[in-house]
Amino acid sequence: MQAQLTIKRFPTALFALVAALAAAIVLGAALGYALKGAPIAPAHTQIVVAHDQAAGDPRSDLTRALPTDRPAADSSCLTRSYGPVC
């Protein structure tokens, strides 16, 4: 009987295919995480619209917002816990 030497080659094409598939999945996941869109805003958001006003516009006068002197107190009646006393 004569011995035969059989050489089984490593399937390099299959290994290359599996490595390429794994690299594509990892790269796709990394890019998907890095390039993901902005998170969705909550449903109850407040929208503020600001309009530019001209310098001469009466609405641009801020003197209305300044504090003013309080009117003189009415001292004709005193207020007690049970009501006004005149």
Structure tokens at 69: 């002197």
What is the Cβ-side half-sphere exposure of residue 68, based on CA atoms within 13 angstroms?
7
Strand partners, 84: 79
Model pTM score: 0.36
Region 2-29: mean pLDDT is 91
- Enter the DSSP assignment of 64: G
| 7's tokens | 């050489």
Query: What is the tens place of the pLDDT at every residue in 38-83?
Result: 666 666 767 777 766 555 565 555 555 666 677 677 667 777 666 6
